[in-house]
Homo-oligomer: A and B are copies of this chain.
Amino acid sequence: MESELQVFQDYIRRRDLRRTRERERILQEVFEIHGHFDVDGLYLQLKQKGVKVSKASIYRALPLFIDCGLVREVEFSEGHWHYEHIYGHSHHNHLRCLGCGEIQEFENQFLNCLEEQLAREYGYYIQNHHLQVQGFCPACRQAAGLPAASNFLKKVDNEQ
């Protein structure tokens, strides 16, 4: 498989943009981050390593990475966007703990069924989806005295 750098360079050529040290250094840093990141974190991480890039360059580079499919916006929280690199990763969604903030990544075949059904039912061409599930992880769940079930199941039980 092509490296993310090659993907980016192909994109740069295709779009008639210029290869620059800054963009490629930012890209490298993005792919060294495991998990999610935000602009400020990325900036500080580069700074700590002695890399001199301005925030403006980061803000300008991210849309390019997103456009060529290397990075995606994950969520808007704490008043700003969070991102993750996605090249070489299978598509996944996020299960977030409302207690400790832990993020569990998961894949699920039900979403393919759902996409098919939406395409059939509404005549849409489905491009992608963005799903975030919220709940409490085993530790936080027990600390809060909640059962090991979904809110949905609990409701169904109550109705019986």
Contact = CB atoms under 8 A, between A and B. Distances in A.
A112 B4 CA distance: 36
Interface stretch (A13-21, A22-30, A47-55, A121-129): A121-129
A135 B126 CA distance: 4
Interface in A80-133: 95, 97-98, 104, 106, 108, 110-119, 121-133
Interface stretch (A31-39, A60-68, A143-151): A143-151
29 contacts: A76-B76, A95-B118, A95-B124, A104-B122, A104-B124, A106-B118, A106-B121, A106-B122, A110-B111, A110-B117, A112-B152, A114-B133, A115-B153, A116-B153, A119-B148, A119-B153, A123-B138, A125-B136, A125-B148, A125-B150, A125-B151, A126-B135, A126-B149, A126-B151, A127-B136, A128-B133, A128-B151, A131-B131, A131-B132
